[in-house]
Amino acid sequence: MWARPKLLVYVLLGDGKNVNESLVAQVKIKLEMADGKVSEKTATYIVNTRPEVTVFRNMLR
């Protein structure tokens, strides 16, 4: 059975950038994997507020 990593910590790196009507932010995340190992990485997230609030990870960066 596949288990998703558990999010332990997240830290916004700066204020982000306004791109069109979205906020693009760098986030440092710390994850605990199913085997107990801890992984740290920086990820890019995009926040939209129209027509409703959505937050998703930019997998292309």
- pLDDT at 26 (0 to 100): 96
Give the C-alpha separation, 38 to 11, whole Å: 16
Edge to edge, what strands does the sheet with 38-48 contain?
6-19, 22-32, 38-48, 54-57
- Residues 33-61 have pLDDT tens digits of 999 999 999 999 999 988 899 999 888 76
Element containing residue 48 per DSSP (H, E): strand 38-48
- Residues 13-28 have pLDDT tens digits of 999 999 988 999 999 9
What are the structural domain ranges in the chain? 6-57
Q: Which fold has domain 6-57?
A: N-terminal domain of TfIIb (2.20.25)
Give the C-alpha separation, 52 to 11, whole Å: 24
